[in-house]
Chains A and B, each alone.
Chain A
Amino acid sequence: MDATTAETSLQWVPRRQHSWLGRLFDSKPFLVTLCMLPTAGLLLIFLTYPLGLGLWLSLTDTTIGQPGVYIGLENFESLFDDPVFWNAVWYTVFYTAIATAGKFLLGLWLALLLNHHLPFKAFIRAIVLLPWIVPTVLSSIAWWWIYDPQFSIISYVVVNVLHLRDHYFDFLGSPWPARWSLIVANIWRGIPFVAITLLAGLQTISPSLYEAALLDGATGWQKFRRITVPLLMPILSVALTLSVLFTFSDFQLVYAITRGGPFNSTHLMATLAFQRAIPGSQLGEGAAIAVSMIPFLLVATLVCFFGVGRRKWQQGSDND
């Protein structure tokens, strides 16, 4: 057949019957499944498998170098009698609670300030984000220098410049100062996330609401309490959930600054799990500590989500 006939012929060609493959691809359920497979695969490989492996390891006595055997809940029983573990649990909860509260108070305050019209607004907002952008390891090292017993800039200013004290601060040398120092560093790092998220929330609140309130003679506190807070709640609950999760599973800050010292007073569950599992080579025990974090994280997430954000927006409808 030559080319011209093909071009000129306007014959009607009946639609060809599809092969089984074509029909398969026309089926909606099949296509949906197919399109979801890559994501499901990724989740399975990178989320379910490690989590499952962690759970399994926590039930064995695996050490680095020796494949372990199933020992049931022995790791958890032994942790139950371990004061170091309970100390880490307690400090993790304390650290998360105080640091999150601090981040939210200061973050909200910062967001309210940034919501005003300021000169160089965009520039200032960019700067505020800095602590969050800098890799945590780097900012941890900066804090480590700030808390150094011999070379702390704070001690230097207070002792050598202002002459307010005659000896340097010992930030990390005893349990309570060390715990508070780490919390301060964590708050510093977490404020930008909260501030920028809440700022985004503030900007979605329609100015007309404030104008109406103004006409009704509402005070500044009333406007904050009755307009800002309720309308900020949805985004607040999301930010709170994320922030609690980040803080609870914090690792880098503590590991870079104190490694859990002095005498384990600043160990978080994450750092203790690492110390037992990798340098201490007790993989099973380390996994058990990591697994013990799951219930706490679940409870924290549920509380944040249902306690703070008990709103219909979560079900997709408007507020009443």
Chain B
Amino acid sequence: MSISRRDTLALASASVAAASIPMIGARAAVADVPIANVKPLEYKLEKGAELRVLRPAKFIDPDEVFWRENSKKYTEATGVPVRVDFLSWEDIRPQTAVVANTGAGPDIVIGFSSDPQIYATKIADMTDLADYLGAKYGGWQELAVLYGTKWKTKEWISIPIGGGTGPVVYRQSWVKEAGYDKIPDDHAGFLTLCQKLQQIGHPCGFSLGHALGDANGFAQWLLWSHNAMLVDEKGHVALDSKETIAALKYATELQKTMVSGTLSWNDSGNNKAYAAGDIGLTFNGVSIYYVLKSSPDPKLNQIAVDTQHQALPKGLAARSPMSATPMNAMVFKHTKYPNAAKDYLRFMMEADQYGPWLSNCIGYWSNSLKAYSQMKFWSEDPKLIPYASGMDTPYYDGFKGPVTPASSAVTANYTVVDMFASVVTGNATPEQAAKRAAQQAERYYKTS
């Protein structure tokens, strides 16, 4: 199959303006969610309550459509008006900071990663709600507990809504052509696969440029699959280690098998190259598959049919070293309607609302409550299976240290990414790069 340059341009603009893509997948039945019989949690709603909610913007349409519909249902059920503002991903963190510092604005902010830890003193305790939801829906996934609770306590300070994860995305037929039925789980096997893919003209491609999601995800996999880590359990920088050196050497070998130009890819680089058929394998969220599957172009639909997903290779790690970007709901103490705010979140997390939202996002968000992994849509399209357990992972930004603002600063400054990038391009030796990156990381860890 050949796709011209022009087709790809059109595709890229289509994926930017995905607004017109119709919904896929019918409204999932929620009967398949196992629900424990738990005493209902009732909040006494404040008189005249109204809510303002801030959340990250959608990347795929159903995310916003179903979120709005569920909010409308809440207003119909309780009479509490809810206004939801969708904010671009880069703006969420600064806005959360403004809300926290001024003590005014939205009642609920759905933020990212370590934000609840940063604002722990300014947000309401959520333990009652989290315990109720956990008991009713089979418990919380491991990553949800890590980000939702105060570090190493049972005190919940946020409600994790879901996480975006990025497993291996590959072209089944090409991987078969290279002689494999699935992606090998060990480093040597994975490297050989990538070498063979390159030989048959369908190389892999992973960004080590300044691509916030993709490059950090790839760099973290390289670290964690070699049992290397940014910081140890106590929060001391532990990057300059022999495990990191091994990861750097492995990355150098892997880089040789890639399509050219990966160092300049931003977060859309691998999506574009994959859709154009320039690469046969990458790590990404479900967005590539979603765009291909829902495209009006039959050529792209065919690529979707040939696309498969698999959890990231384990390497030396005991479990697949794959993390997810979590979306956490925080109720600020300044709200006049804390009960209404919690009740709204409870409502949104209940099966009748959460189920349709989750299933229509087809894996863009992985569920934070275990019971939702049983939903049929995950197995109806077997390609989605790796996303069903996206939040079932012990890996997080700044693994294995405490969740702090420092880990977010390291991610935002591409410290680990740049360490790999400078080595794979031959601009630094592994030893130099590891040392330098450890010094850079130290700058952020000493201040917090």
B418 and A263 contacting across the interface, CB-CB below 8 Å: yes
- Determine whether A304 belongs to the interface, using a CB cutoff of 8 Å to chain B: no
A262 and B208 contacting across the interface, CB-CB below 8 Å: yes
CA distance A170 to B258 in the complex (A): 13
Residues of chain A within 8 A (CB-CB) of B2 are: none
B412 and A279 contacting across the interface, CB-CB below 8 Å: yes
Stretch touching chain B among A15-23, A49-57, A144-152: A144-152
Residues of chain A within 8 A (CB-CB) of B119 are: 65
- Determine whether B5 belongs to the interface, using a CB cutoff of 8 Å to chain A: yes
Closest to A264 in B: B418
Stretch touching chain A among B27-35, B242-250, B272-280: B272-280
Once A63-B405, A65-B119, A151-B272 are accepted as A-B contacts, the answer to whether A263 and B427 lie under 8 Å apart by CB is yes
Once A83-B436, A173-B260 are accepted as A-B contacts, the answer to whether A149 and B412 lie under 8 Å apart by CB is no
Closest to B428 in A: A263
| Interchain nearest-CB distance for B179 vs A (Å) | 26
CA distance A276 to B409 in the complex (A): 8
Residues of chain B within 8 A (CB-CB) of A278 are: 90, 93-94
Pick from A66, A145, A262: contact of B209, CB below 8 A.
Answer: A262
Closest to A156 in B: B5
Interface string of A274-308 (1 = CB under 8 A from B): 01101111100000000000000000000000000
Closest to B440 in A: A84
- Determine whether A250 belongs to the interface, using a CB cutoff of 8 Å to chain B: no
- Determine whether A260 belongs to the interface, using a CB cutoff of 8 Å to chain B: yes
Interface string of B259-278 (1 = CB under 8 A from A): 11111111001001100101
Query: What interface size band does chain A fall in?
Result: 35 or more
| Interchain nearest-CB distance for B402 vs A (Å) | 16
Closest to B408 in A: A281
CA distance A175 to B96 in the complex (A): 35
- Determine whether B9 belongs to the interface, using a CB cutoff of 8 Å to chain A: yes
CA distance A64 to B91 in the complex (A): 12
Once A149-B264, A151-B5 are accepted as A-B contacts, the answer to whether A65 and B97 lie under 8 Å apart by CB is yes
- Determine whether A168 belongs to the interface, using a CB cutoff of 8 Å to chain B: yes
Closest to B426 in A: A174
A281 and B5 contacting across the interface, CB-CB below 8 Å: no
Query: What interface size band does chain B fall in?
Result: 35 or more
- Determine whether B100 belongs to the interface, using a CB cutoff of 8 Å to chain A: yes
- Determine whether A115 belongs to the interface, using a CB cutoff of 8 Å to chain B: no
B93 and A174 contacting across the interface, CB-CB below 8 Å: no
B101 and A65 contacting across the interface, CB-CB below 8 Å: yes
- Determine whether A261 belongs to the interface, using a CB cutoff of 8 Å to chain B: yes
Task: List residues of B (375-418) whose CB comes within 8 Å of A's CBs.
Answer: 405, 408-409, 412-414, 417-418
| Interchain nearest-CB distance for A153 vs B (Å) | 8
Task: List residues of A (233-271) whose CB comes within 8 Å of B's CBs.
Answer: 258-264
B440 and A149 contacting across the interface, CB-CB below 8 Å: no
Residues of chain B within 8 A (CB-CB) of A279 are: 90, 93, 212, 412-413
CA distance A168 to B448 in the complex (A): 45
A150 and B93 contacting across the interface, CB-CB below 8 Å: no
| Interchain nearest-CB distance for B209 vs A (Å) | 4
CA distance A281 to B95 in the complex (A): 12
Residues of chain B within 8 A (CB-CB) of A65 are: 96-97, 100-101, 118-119, 405
Using CB atoms and an 8 Å cutoff, list the residues of chain B in contact with chain A: 5, 8-9, 90, 93-94, 96-97, 100-101, 118-119, 208-210, 212, 259-266, 269, 272-273, 276, 278, 405, 408-409, 412-414, 417-418, 421-422, 425, 427, 436, 440, 443-444, 447-448
| 16 CB < 8 A contacts A-B | A65-B96, A66-B118, A82-B443, A149-B262, A151-B8, A151-B9, A156-B5, A261-B263, A261-B418, A262-B264, A262-B425, A263-B421, A264-B414, A276-B413, A279-B90, A280-B409
Q: Which 3 A-B pairs have the closest CB atoms?
A: A149-B261, A172-B264, A261-B210
